[in-house]
Amino acid sequence: MFCPEESHVNAPLLVAALEEACRRIGVSLTAHAGEVEIVDPHRLSGSGVLLRGGNGAEWRGDRAVLCAGAWTCRFAETIGLPIPIHPIRGQICSYDVPFGDTRHMVFSSQAYWVGKKNGTLVCGASEDVAGFDASVTERGIERLLRWGPRLFPFLQGRQPVRRWAGLRPATLDGRPLIGRLPHRDDILIAAGHYRNGILLSPVTAQLVGDLLEGSAGAGLLAPFAPDRFALRQ
Ligand SMILES: Cc1cc2nc3c(=O)[nH]c(=O)nc-3n(C[C@H](O)[C@H](O)[C@H](O)COP(=O)(O)OP(=O)(O)OC[C@H]3O[C@@H](n4cnc5c(N)ncnc54)[C@H](O)[C@@H]3O)c2cc1C
């Protein structure tokens, strides 16, 4: 199926642009803070949230948004709510291919290929269960290498120049968790976007912004309620 309007972005550049946009409007960003934890949420309930980084830095705010990807599940005990988000590793690779040599994104049952403006042909991606291990394995990349030349004969005999892996935050029903906690409105969750976290980042940011300003429609967010798994137990 040919979808002429289908398009793609360069995810690292998108994140760099987001960081720059945040700085321009005065958002305070802290890098290398280590593992951030919520400090004694019950004691502070009603008076804001205290966060502490692994480096000892502390931040106090009226509200906090938990958006720690696959690691968001680690906050379950602290906030008193099951967060059944689990990591699914994705392995991916890229070849040096001049921009324009491949004009379309190509999807097969085994992989996809996308030519980027920076002269790389990106080929992704595996889906494997490896806990929080984000390393690249021969087995994970092998299927991508095998399928490349079947769709792009010029890849025959070529090795990718870059291989990398990440952990996708998967949920039990395939939908992300976006919303306030049922038992305290000073903590929100925005996590569990699995394979679509880049694609869904603008709408997620809009929804979380609306929630923080109190203007989000409850009905719209019902399918993504963070407590929907607790209700099933
Ligand atoms: C190979 C691969 C290909 C993909 N392709 C696409 C695609 O084509 N389109 C698409 O839309 N999506 C794609 N995705 C999925 C997308 O990357 C994810 O959905 C997205 O990154 C989720 O964003 P997030 O911010 O929720 O989590 P993450 O990107 O995982 O970010 C969470 C961050 O929080 C940090 N963190 C965790 N715990 C703590 C803590 N306690 N304190 C401080 N920091 C913490 C982590 O280190 C991490 O940096 C792909 C993923 C992979 C692996």
pLDDT band at residue 103 under the 50/70/90 scheme:
confident
Task: With beta carbons less than 8 A apart as the criterion, state whether 61 and 48 touch.
Answer: yes
> Is 70 exceeded by the pLDDT of residue 231?
no
> Is 80 exceeded by the pLDDT of residue 44?
no
Q: What's the pLDDT at 218?
A: 72
187: CA distance to ligand 1 center in Å?
20
The helix (H) or strand (E) run that includes residue 178 is strand 177-180
Task: Kindly state the DSSP code that residue 154 receives in the 8-state scheme.
Answer: G
Q: What's the pLDDT at 46?
A: 60
184: CA distance to ligand 1 center in Å?
26
Burial of 148 (0-12, 13-18, 19+ CB in 10 A): buried
pLDDT band at residue 4 under the 50/70/90 scheme:
confident
179 lines ligand 1 (CB under 6 A): no
More reliable by pLDDT, 103 or 223 = 223
Q: Report the C-alpha dihedral over residues 26, 30, 35, 36, rounded to 10 degrees.
A: -40
Q: What's the pLDDT at 42?
A: 55
Percent pLDDT > 70 in the chain is: 96
Give CA–CA dist 43/56, Å, rounded: 19
> Is 70 exceeded by the pLDDT of residue 45?
no
Q: What's the pLDDT at 232?
A: 60
> Is 60 exceeded by the pLDDT of residue 109?
yes
71 lines ligand 1 (CB under 6 A): yes
* Ligand 1 atom closest to Cα of residue 67: 26
Q: What's the pLDDT at 216?
A: 73
197: CA distance to ligand 1 center in Å?
7
Give CA–CA dist 183/46, Å, rounded: 11
| Closest protein CA for atom 46 of ligand 1 | 68
> Is 90 exceeded by the pLDDT of residue 53?
yes
Burial letters 44-81, b for 16+ CB under 10 A, else e: eeeeebbebeeeeeeeeeeebbbbbbbbbbebeeebeb
Q: State mean pLDDT over 72-91.
A: 96
176 lines ligand 1 (CB under 6 A): no
**Domains of the chain by residue range:** 32-84+176-232, 87-171
Q: What's the pLDDT at 43?
A: 56
**Which CATH superfamily does the domain covering 32-84+176-232 fall into?**
FAD/NAD(P)-binding domain (3.50.50.60)
Q: What's the pLDDT at 183?
A: 86
Q: What's the pLDDT at 41?
A: 60
87-171 CATH, one of 3.50.50.60, 3.30.9.10, 1.10.8.60, 3.40.50.300: 3.30.9.10
| Closest protein CA for atom 14 of ligand 1 | 195
157: CA distance to ligand 1 center in Å?
32
| Closest protein CA for atom 49 of ligand 1 | 68
35 lines ligand 1 (CB under 6 A): yes
36 lines ligand 1 (CB under 6 A): yes
> Is 90 exceeded by the pLDDT of residue 82?
yes
Q: State mean pLDDT over 118-138.
A: 96
Q: What's the pLDDT at 215?
A: 84
Q: Which residue has the tokens 């379950």?
A: 76
Amino acid at 168: R
User: What's the mean per-residue pLDDT of the chain?
Assistant: 93
229 lines ligand 1 (CB under 6 A): no
Q: State mean pLDDT over 19-34.
A: 96
> Is 80 exceeded by the pLDDT of residue 150?
yes
Percent pLDDT > 90 in the chain is: 85
